[in-house]
Amino acid sequence: MCLFQSAARRLVPQVRCGLKASSSKKFGLEMARPSSNMADFREVFAKAKHIAIITGAGVSAESGVPTFRGAGGFWRKWQAQELATPGAFARNPSRVWEFYHYRREVMLSKHPNPAHIAIAECEKRLSKQGRSVVVITQNIDELHRKAGTKQLLEIHGSLFKTRCTSCGNVAANYKSPICPALAGKGAPDPDTEDAAIPVEDLPQCEEDGCNGLLRPHVVWFGEALDPGVLTEVEKELDICDLCLVVGTSSVVYPAAMFAPQVSARGVPVAEFNTEPTPATNRFRFHFPGPCGTTLPPALARHETEIIS
Is 72 labelled a binding residue?
yes
Name the nearest CA neighbour of 257 among 138, 85, 149, 159. 138
The whole-number pLDDT of residue 26 equals 46
The whole-number pLDDT of residue 2 equals 45
CB-CB contact of 65 with 145 (8 Å)? no
Is 71 labelled a binding residue?
yes
Residue 82 CA to chain centroid, in angstroms? 20
CB-CB contact of 178 with 201 (8 Å)? no
Is 139 labelled a binding residue?
yes
Is 247 labelled a binding residue?
yes
Is 164 labelled a binding residue?
yes
Fold annotation for 36-65+112-156+224-302: Rossmann fold (3.40.50)
Is 179 labelled a binding residue?
no
The whole-number pLDDT of residue 58 equals 92
Is 59 labelled a binding residue?
yes
Model confidence pLDDT, tens digit, residues 25-47? 444 445 568 999 999 999 999 99
Is 62 labelled a binding residue?
yes
User: Could you say which of 156, 217, 286, 302 is catalytic?
Assistant: 156
Superfamily of domain 66-109+157-218 in CATH is: SIR2/SIRT2 'Small Domain' (3.30.1600.10)
Model confidence pLDDT, tens digit, residues 260-287? 999 999 999 999 999 999 999 999 999 9
In single-letter form, the type of residue at position 268 comes to P
Specify whether the backbone of 218 is left (phi greater than 0), alpha (psi in -120 to 50) or beta: beta
The whole-number pLDDT of residue 28 equals 47
Annotated catalytic, 156?
yes
The whole-number pLDDT of residue 254 equals 81
Is 289 labelled a binding residue?
no
Q: How many other β-carbons are positioned within 10 Å of the β-carbon of residue 229?
A: 16
Is 138 labelled a binding residue?
yes
The parts of the chain modelled with pLDDT lower than 70 are: 1-32, 68-72, 307-308
CB-CB contact of 227 with 12 (8 Å)? yes
Domain edges within the chain: 36-65+112-156+224-302, 66-109+157-218
